[in-house]
Amino acid sequence: MTTFLKDPDAVLDYSVDWSKWLAGDQIETSTWFVSDPALQPTDNSNTTTRATIWVAGGVAGQSYTVTNRITTSGGRTDERSLVIQVQDR
């Protein structure tokens, strides 16, 4: 699991690149899950190979897990998680 640093006042985007795993398949749907409401999703989008979420907030000193679940046009479903560690920067 990859860890990213974020300031509590920042609004930043985080992405999962699914291209190697897809092996020619394409993302049909993408859903994001955030482990705690203190970290607030503000937007999300996807292409055929990459899913992106924008988040705001969070409490300094806390870490949050953000999970992306996709379903492909071929019917496969998988998910990847990342950790966002919030620090005053």
pLDDT along the chain (89 residues), means of 10: 95 97 97 98 98 98 98 98 97
CA-nearest of 6, 70, 16 to 38 is 6
Whole-model pTM: value is: 0.94
- pLDDT, residue 45, reads 98
Name, in order, each residue with C-beta under 8 angstroms of 59's C-beta and a sequence gap of 6 or more: 8, 38, 86
Contact 40, 55 (CB under 8 A): yes
Say what the pLDDT of residue 64 is: 98
Q: Where are the domains of the chain?
A: 2-86
**CATH of the domain spanning 2-86, picked from 2.70.150.10, 1.10.8.60, 2.60.40.10, 3.40.50.10710:** 2.60.40.10
Contact assessment for residue 47 and residue 73, using Cβ atoms and an 8 Å cutoff: no
Note whether 55 and 34 are within 8 A (CB).
Answer: yes
